[in-house]
A and B are shown apart, each in its own frame.
Chain A
C-alpha cells in the first residue's frame, strides 16, 4: 500500500485525548494514538504506579524501564499533574477545555469527589467524550469491588472455561482482561465520537471490564441459554462442536513442542482432514480406514466420541514425528487448517510479519538504543495507522504542554513543581 505513513495523515490526527488511565485502560488511548490522535498521558507527580510492572528493559527495575509501560503507552506524550491539588484541577480544567476525549480509570466517584467528575467536565467542554473505565462499571452492586486481572477473568466467567477438570480454573498467565477492556473501550469511545460528529454533543462512556470479557469466550454461555447445558473447562480439548457431546483434541505433542490441530467439519474442515490423511499417507502412516473415509459425508456436529477417538489415535502418532516448523510449512502448502503453538521467539521468525512490515523500531535515545515494537494494527489504503513515538518519560512533555501550548512561564512551572502540583 502506498498511503502516506506520517502521523498527520492518520485518520484521527485532528483530535486530542487526555489519558488518565492505569493499566486497565492503557490500550484505549494507545489505539486512538495508533490512529493518529494526539494522546497526552496525565500521570501523578513521580509517575504512574504501572511503571512498576514488569518485564523490564535488561531486567532493571526502574520506572523508566518498564517494557509493560513502553508497549502500551507508545504514541502518547506525557505530563505530570496532581489532581488532588486545587491548582492541579485548575490546570486540568484548561486542558479539558481544549481536548476532544478524556479517558480515565479511577475508582467510581473519585473524580466527582474532587469536583472534576463528568458533570464538571461536560460544563467546561460540552463536546467532550469522557470514557470511564472500571472493573465493573460506574454504578451497580459490584461497582465498588476492587479487581485485578484474575478477578475480572473470574467474574466474567472466562476462568470457568479454562483449566483441567478437577483442578482449579485458570486465567491466561499474561493478564489479558486489561487489553480487552482497553480495546473495547476504544470502540465505545469512537462510537460516542461519531455521534458527536453528527450532533456536536459529547457524552460519557461507562465501560465495564467484566462485560468486555464476555466476548472473549464467544458463545459458551448460549449452551446454557438454549439447552441448559453447562460448558466447563476441558483442558486441552474442545467441547461444544458435536451435539453428541464428543470432545476434540486441540493440542498435540510434536517433536519440539505442541501443535494446534482440530478435526473440524464444514468445507474447510473436510478439505483439511483429507489433506492430512494424504500427508500421513505420503509417510506411510495413514491407516486404511482413514484413507477410505468419505469426508464429504463427515458431519462434525453429529460425530460420536468413539469415532473421534479412533481418528485421533493415528493422527497423534503421526504428529509425534513432525516439528512445529515442518507443520507450519505443510499447513500453508497443503491449505490445511491448523497452526503450531508459537512462542514469542517463533513469532519473531514468521516471514509473514516481515513481508507486511509489521515490526517497527522506535528510538529510545535515553537508553542509547532503539526497540522493536508491534506496528500499527491495520493497514489503511488512504491514511496511516502505526507507531510513531516511544512512550513518554515521567513529565517529559511538561514544558511542551504547559509552557509552549498553555503559555505558562518557566518560573510558574518551577513553582508548581516545588508545590507538588506537577
Chain B
C-alpha cells in the first residue's frame, strides 16, 4: 500500500512552490488534482523552457512535466463567478487538502478564502504558500523564487568575495519551502485525526528559506559578523575545493577536515616533498597557505580522470567526488541503484525521465507511475466520475466557459 493512499488534494496552484508539494504527495499515492484553465494555464506550460525539440507548446514543457507527474489536470476559469466559484467549492468539499500559491489576497478576491472554504468543508487543511506570508506590510508583494533567494541571503553567499553574487539555478528557495509545506500538511492531518479540526498553514517561502542560514543570522545578531561569499572555501577544511581533471570542463572536489585525512591524501599524492613542508603541516598552516595548496593539488589532479581520482581517494578514506553534469546525473550508478528516475512515455514529449522521491520507504512503493497530464486532460473523468456532475451539467458548464 502507498503511504498516502486515499488522501485527496486539489491545487489552486502554478509554477513550483505549490505544485511540487502536490507532486511529493502524489508520489506516495495521494490523489492530486491540478487546476488550471485555457485562459490561464500553469506558467510553466506557457513561458518556461525547455520545450521538447525547442518547439513551444502547452504540453511540451519539461519543467511542468517534472512538477506535475501522477496528477490529474482539470480546467476551471475562476473568473466566471458565480458558477465557477460554486464549482470550486464543490471540488474543495471533495478534497482533504487545498494547496494554493497565489499572491496573498487572491483566493479571497475569488471568493475562495480560507474562512469561506471552511464553511464548505469545516475540517479543511489549506496550505497557502507565498513569497512573504499572508499578512504583514509586504504580504501582497508577488515574486519568484529566483529573486527571493536573494532577499533571504543565499546569493550573497554564492560567488567570489571580490566579485558579484552568482545565481542559484531556478527558484532555489521554492523547493526549500516545498519540504516545509509537505511536513506541515502531514502534521496538520495528524492534528485533524486527533481533534477533528482542520487549519490554514500560512507558509512564507522567505521564512522557510531563512531556516537554512540560521547560524549566520545568530552570528550577526550576537557577534555583529556579516557573512559573505567566499567561493569554495570552508573554515574547517583545507584543501576544500574543486580541482580540474583530464578532459573538457571536468572537475573533482576534494575536502580534508583532519590531519589523518591530510596524511592519507599525501600518501595518494605519492608523498611529494612539498606536502611535507612546514607550511602545510597543520590545519592552520594549510589554511594560511591555501592558495598555494590549491595550486599544488590542481597540478596533481589535472592530468588524471576525475573518476579515477575519486575512486582512489575514497578508497584511502579521503572525501572526494566528481562534479557531475546535468547529463551525468541520469547515468549516475548510485542514483540508478535507488531508482531515482523513471522513464515514462508522454504523447508530445516522448520519453521523459520523471523524478522519484529522495527517500525510500521500506513499506510503501513510490511513484510516479503516470506522466504529467495534458492541459484539461481529466476534465470529464474528474467532473463526472469523481465529482458526480451529470453529463448535461458538465456540458452546460463547458458551454458557459466555466470548465474551459
Contact = CB atoms under 8 A, between A and B. Distances in A.
A331 to B, nearest CB: 7
Contacts of A203: 361-364
A220 to B, nearest CB: 5
Contacts of A331: 141
B305 interface: no
B146 interface: yes
A14 B187 CA distance: 11
11 contacts: A67-B218, A154-B253, A169-B323, A190-B182, A203-B361, A218-B63, A223-B50, A230-B327, A232-B326, A337-B147, A378-B184
B188 to A, nearest CB: 6
Contacts of A224: 326-327, 330
A401 interface: no
A22 to B, nearest CB: 12
Interface stretch (A90-98, A181-189, A288-296): A181-189
A140 B333 contact: yes
Interface string A195-239: 101110101111110111011111111111111011111111110
A14 B141 CA distance: 37
Find the residue from B216, B252, B328 having the highest chain A CB count within 10 A.
B216
A356 interface: yes
Nearest to B219: A55
Interface string B161-181: 001111111111011101110
Contacts of A379: 133-134, 201-202
A331 B150 CA distance: 14
B334 A243 contact: no
A157 B332 CA distance: 10
Interface stretch (B79-87, B205-213, B390-398): B205-213
Interface in A351-365: 351-353, 355-356, 358
B273 interface: no
A2 to B, nearest CB: 12
Interface in B69-127: 114
Given A139-B337, A371-B222, A186 B179 contact: yes
B350 to A, nearest CB: 8
B359 A216 contact: no
Contacts of A188: 357-359, 361
Contacts of A164: 163, 166
Contacts of B241: 150, 168
A110 interface: no
B388 interface: no
Find the residue from A31, A194, A206, A250 having the highest chain B CB count within 10 A.
A194
Given A173-B233, A180-B176, A221-B329, 10 more contacts: A147-B319, A161-B169, A173-B231, A174-B213, A191-B361, A191-B364, A230-B325, A344-B220, A377-B203, A382-B197
Interface string A120-151: 00000000000100001101111111111111
A192 to B, nearest CB: 5
A191 B208 CA distance: 19
A236 B165 contact: yes
Contacts of A300: 47
Interface residues of B, number: 163
A179 interface: yes
Contacts of B197: 382
Find the residue from B6, B142, B170 having the highest chain A CB count within 10 A.
B170
A211 B340 contact: yes
A208 B329 contact: no
Contacts of B317: 146
A253 B165 CA distance: 10
Contacts of A351: 136-138
A118 B362 CA distance: 11
B190 A154 contact: no
B142 A335 contact: yes
Given A140-B338, A183-B179, A227-B50, A11 B252 contact: no
B54 A210 contact: no
Q: In the complex, which range does the number of interface residues on chain A fall in?
A: 35 or more
B374 to A, nearest CB: 16
Interface in B19-60: 20, 24, 28, 43, 46-54, 56
B263 to A, nearest CB: 15
A161 B322 CA distance: 14
Given A216-B172, A220-B326, A341 B141 contact: no
A190 B187 contact: yes
A308 to B, nearest CB: 15
A215 B203 contact: no
A219 B170 contact: yes
A156 B253 contact: no
A154 B220 contact: no
A14 B154 CA distance: 35
Contact of B326 (A53, A140, A155, A223): A223
B135 A241 contact: no
A275 to B, nearest CB: 12
B214 interface: yes
Find the residue from A190, A242, A344 having the highest chain B CB count within 10 A.
A344
A403 interface: no
A347 B253 contact: no
A358 B136 CA distance: 11
B192 to A, nearest CB: 9
Given A180-B176, A211-B335, A53 B236 contact: yes
B189 A194 contact: yes
B338 A211 contact: yes
A266 B126 CA distance: 27
Nearest to B40: A267
Contacts of A418: none
B170 to A, nearest CB: 3
Contacts of A358: 207, 210
Contacts of B222: 57-58, 67, 371
B12 to A, nearest CB: 17
Interface stretch (A80-88, A256-264, A407-415): A256-264
A373 B180 contact: no
Interface string A160-171: 111110001111
A372 interface: yes
B143 A337 contact: yes
A331 B327 CA distance: 38
Contacts of B156: 258, 341-343
Find the residue from B47, B240, B255, B328 having the highest chain A CB count within 10 A.
B47
B138 A12 contact: no
A199 B362 CA distance: 14
Nearest to B173: A216
Contacts of B228: 173, 343
Interface string A378-422: 111111010000000000000000000000000000000000000
What are the 6 closest A-B residue pairs judged by CB atoms, nearest first? A218-B170, A188-B359, A222-B62, A211-B358, A140-B337, A382-B199
